[in-house]
Amino acid sequence: MTRKTLELSVALFMLITGVILTSAVPGIRFGSRGSVPVYSSYVRGHDQMNNNGMASHSAKVGDDRVKLEEQPGVNCKVPHAPGATYVIYINWDGFAYRYYEWANSPSGPGTPVLNYLASRGALFTDAHNGFPGTTVPMQTSIVTGAWPAVHGNTHLYYDPLENVVKQMNRENPSETIAEVVAKSGLSSASVQQFALEGRGTWVDDPRHLYVQPSGSWHNRVAEAIKILKQEGVKTGDGQRVIVPEIPRFLAIYADDLDATGHNPGISYGFSLALNYEAWKANLIRKLVYMDSGLGLLVDALSDLGILDQTAIILTSDHGMSHFKGETSLPDVLETLGALGYTAEILSAGEKASPRTDIVLVGGDLSLQFYFRWDVTVREYNEIVEALQGKPYFGGYMSLHELAKAGAHPNLGSLVIWAEPPYHFGPSDLLLRVGGQHNSGDRSSRQVFMLLSGAGIRQGIVVDKPAAIIDVAPTISHLLGVRQPSDSMGRVLEEAIAAH
């Protein structure tokens, strides 16, 4: 499909969906603008952050007595009467909250389906992820309700004992929400939500089915609709399977927005963005496309007569920060050198040389620091202060703050991140704009989060901070099953309707 045809289809679809849904649900305004709250300011630094993972700033090196913050609110692990017969958990990888603001700005195209769901639910304007802000650790946090400190998946880290940088895959010893659903006797399915593959959904279990259709969001929505309508779907080994009932819990994962945000080249039909404005325009267009596919899902639920019994939860693992220009990595190494330290950045599988004092891991937007001697508070602060004065310095998390944020100790003793559009990439980025999300910057940390439908309060905007680890316990609450055994999130009570 050419881009023009696609645009026309999307526009036509939006028009049709708008008419259908508006006529079906009187009083719902589509693409209503000006209702999306805009952040008055975001101050670099630490003191303004709070809530599980955004700690205040009084760190001491080696203070390992820090405990993870207790979660306020209801945290009971016992089942409730279900608030929803069906729960659909949708994850749009790399869906920064600000994309939604951009699309719904006065000059934006609007997102009629998301806005419709928001009118029937709760939109969270301050939902955040944890550390590291990379896909597998954060997708794991969503489905387990636990931060990496507990489930252990921290992506990339330096192992001082073996003197090597290690990269993790999908290791996760913590129970997933899909495993709870299965153990509770409820049916489920996962459309490419890989964090649930073999972890509560399986390719060979029609009652707890895992399918991986690949391709675009629309392709995956089509597969999800087949499952909901109990039509045949193909599993990984080519078998045709029909689910025995409409799954009580359905997870759908799509990475279209993430691919557009990374902007590595041609992806899903969108062209390479050479500057920030073009990048932003691509993301808005992609979000409109995602929105139209969501409309097909809502229509299918309506056709089946289960829309009012279904809760839809849509969130993401991380946002996305743009970067461009010369890399600031050489200056970091020089700055550490001027303080008398030899630092080197290592990739997966690489070993530090014997004379290296500081091992750096990461790159692109953040650097994890591993000190190869017993660093004192004075030395630690000196390093932070030297870097803090740099224009590229976006912020940092000390060991203490990382622990409070639920980061795994393997993540290092210090994490710094770049102020957009600066970066710590291996080379300069001069011809295009890049996107990454392993950053503490708000653009990477603030994710879209919407709860809508059965069991959810209608038409509320929640400014109170929420975390992605709150999703699993909230799903438990809605389905009336227990929480995953390692869950440390809270039920998002402020979004739950009285029943």
Residues forming the site for Zn ion (CB under 5 A): 93-94, 135, 258, 317
Number of other CB atoms surrounding residue 34 within 10 Å: 9
Does the bond joining 421 to the residue before it have cis omega, within 30 degrees of 0? yes
Task: Indicate the residue among 121 and 406 with the shorter CB distance to Zn ion.
Answer: 406
Q: Is the CB of 84 or the CB of 314 nearer to Zn ion?
A: 314
Q: How far is the CB of 283 from Zn ion (least distance, A)?
A: 14
Please state the closest distance from residue 318 (CB atom) to Zn ion, in A: 5
Token code pair at residue 311: 């809760």
| Whole-number Å distance between alpha carbons of 447 and 317 | 7
Closest to Zn ion by CB, 135 or 172:
135
- Asked if 213 and 293 touch (Cβ cutoff 8 Å), the reply is no
User: Which residues are CB-neighbours of 255 under 8 A, at least 6 positions away?
Assistant: 93, 94
Alpha-carbon distance of 94 to 384, in angstroms, equals 29
Vertex 124 angle, CA 81 and 433, to 5°: 135
Task: Provide the minimum distance between the beta carbon of 289 and Zn ion in the complex, in angstroms, as a whole number.
Answer: 18
Residue 243 · residue 224 · CB < 8 Å:
no
H/E stretch holding 460 reads: strand 460-462
Query: Which residue in 213, 252, 207 sits closest to 235, CA to CA?
Result: 213
Question: What is the chain's alpha carbon radius of gyration, rounded to the nearest angstrom?
Answer: 23
In this complex, which beta carbon is closest to Zn ion, that of residue 93 or of residue 205? 93
Q: Find tokens 């690949």 and name the residue.
A: 214
Q: Which is nearer to Zn ion, 69 or 268 (CB)?
A: 268
> For strand 460-462 and strand 156-159, is the pairing parallel, antiparallel, or unpaired?
unpaired
Least Å distance between CB 363 and Zn ion?
17
* 3-state SS, residue 121: strand
CA distances from 205 to 181, 186, 241 (A): 14, 13, 9
Which is closer to Zn ion, CB of 141 or CB of 398?
141
* Residue 168 C-beta: closest distance to Zn ion, Å: 15
Residue whose CB is nearest to Zn ion in the complex, by number: 135
Q: Are 144 and 177 in contact (CB under 8 A)?
A: yes
Q: Which is nearer to Zn ion, 258 or 291 (CB)?
A: 258
Please, what is the end-to-end C-alpha distance for the chain in angstroms?
Answer: 47
314 is written with which tokens?
């849509």
Task: Compute the least distance from the CB of residue 352 to Zn ion, in Å.
Answer: 28
Question: Which of 121/132 has CB closer to Zn ion?
Answer: 132
CB of 394 to Zn ion, least distance (A): 20
Query: Minimum Å distance from CB 437 to Zn ion?
Result: 7
| Least CB distance to Zn ion at residue 449 (A) | 15
Q: Which residue has 């004092």 as its token pair?
A: 357
Q: Which is nearer to Zn ion, 144 or 476 (CB)?
A: 144
* Cα dihedral 95→99→100→106 (10° resolution): -170
Q: Quick one: which H or E segment has residue 415?
A: strand 414-418
User: Which is it for the CA torsion 198, 199, 202, 205, positive or negative?
Assistant: positive
From CA 109, how far away is CA 129, in angstroms rounded? 27
CB nearer to Zn ion: give 93 or 299.
93
Q: Give the 3-state secondary structure of residue 122.
A: strand
CB-wise, 110 or 133, nearer to Zn ion? Answer: 133
Please list, in sequence order, all residues whose beta carbon lies within 8 angstroms of the beta carbon of residue 48, skipping any fewer than 6 positions away: none
In whole angstroms, how close is the CB of 258 to Zn ion at the nearest point?
A: 5
**CB of 94: closest distance to Zn ion in angstroms?**
5
Q: Cβ of residue 441: shortest distance to Zn ion, in angstroms?
A: 15
Which CB, 135 or 193, lies closer to Zn ion?
Answer: 135
* Assigned token pair, 69: 């913050």
Tokens 């969001």 belong to which residue?
A: 217
